[in-house]
């Protein structure tokens, strides 16, 4: 990642209260710092500069945009962390992928494991991989590409990217799992919506960020 050049616009704040800070992460910006001073700029650092008590709850890949939540207190961090761990949150993504998907909807159930010689790449492995399940619904499709809504039921690293590539429809602009990354200005994957329970009181909340492609 020697050519790391993240966008410089300040992050869009979607919601803030005494327990939550919800942000629309831009594509190209790390969620947390990488190794080395040149990778220090990240969404966590930018949010903490404005909200000093902000704490990490989950991550999005560098090249994925969309809804990301931070906790404002240690109690909220624990509460939200358990929701993610127990799969009580609901995440919805929008993507553009290569080729026509004929089925209107479906489920991908393929176990994943890190591809150690090529990390951080992940790969399908039926022998030792961890369960990974993604539901998908096709929004529209033509001979060249399909726009798809993805609902992950598990939260494995690179899950959506590997699953779509394994289906034969890699995400457009994906630098790891497609061969067309140079043809697109970004990876076409966006975290459109996140549903969770508020750490103070438990009421259901829904956060949405408009898809930019």
- Percentage with pLDDT > 90 across the chain: 97
Instruction: Kindly tell me if the per-residue pLDDT of 1 is higher than 70.
Output: no
Strand (E) or helix (H) holding 12: strand 12-16
**pLDDT (tens digit, 9 = 90+) per residue, 118-166?**
999 999 999 999 999 999 999 999 999 999 999 999 999 999 999 999 9
> DSSP 3-state assignment of 82?
helix
**pLDDT (tens digit, 9 = 90+) per residue, 36-82?**
999 999 999 999 999 999 999 999 999 999 999 999 999 999 999 99
Q: What's the CA gap between 70 and 51, in Å, rounded? A: 10
User: pTM above the 0.75 mark?
Assistant: yes
Task: Give the number of residues written for the chain.
Answer: 213
Q: Record the tokens describing residue 182, joined without a space.
A: 């140079």
> DSSP 3-state assignment of 53?
coil
Q: Where are the alpha helices (DSSP H) in 59-172?
A: 74-85, 159-166
Question: Active-site positions?
Answer: 61
| Cβ neighbours of 8 (radius 10 Å) | 9
pLDDT score of 74: 98
> DSSP 3-state assignment of 3?
coil
Residue 199 near residue 80, CB atoms below 8 Å: yes
- Percentage with pLDDT > 70 across the chain: 99
Query: Would you place residue 3 in the very low, low, confident or very high pLDDT band (cuts 50, 70, 90)?
Result: confident
**pLDDT (tens digit, 9 = 90+) per residue, 89-104?**
999 999 999 999 999 9
> DSSP 3-state assignment of 85?
helix
């Amino acid at each position: 990642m020697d050519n790391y050049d993240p966008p410089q616009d300040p992050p869009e704040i979607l919601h803030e209260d005494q327990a939550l800070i919800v942000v629309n992460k831009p594509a190209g910006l790390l969620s947390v710092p990488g190794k080395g001073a040149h990778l220090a700029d990240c969404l966590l650092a930018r949010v903490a500069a404005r909200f000093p008590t902000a704490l990490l709850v989950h991550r999005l890949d560098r090249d994925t945009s969309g809804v990301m939540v931070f906790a404002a207190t240690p109690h909220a961090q624990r509460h939200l962390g358990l929701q993610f761990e127990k799969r009580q949150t609901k995440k919805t993504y929008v993507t553009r992928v290569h080729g026509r998907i004929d089925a209107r909807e479906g489920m991908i159930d393929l176990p994943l494991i890190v591809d150690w010689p090529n990390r951080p790449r992940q790969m399908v492995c039926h022998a030792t991989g961890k369960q990974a399940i993604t539901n998908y619904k096709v929004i529209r499709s033509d001979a060249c590409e399909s726009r798809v809504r993805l609902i992950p039921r598990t939260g494995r690293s690179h899950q959506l990217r590997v699953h779509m590539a394994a289906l034969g429809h890699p995400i457009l602009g994906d630098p790891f799992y497609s061969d067309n990354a140079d043809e697109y200005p970004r990876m076409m994957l966006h975290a459109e919506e996140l549903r969770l329970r508020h750490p103070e009181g438990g009421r259901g909340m829904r956060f949405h960020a408009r898809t930019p492609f």
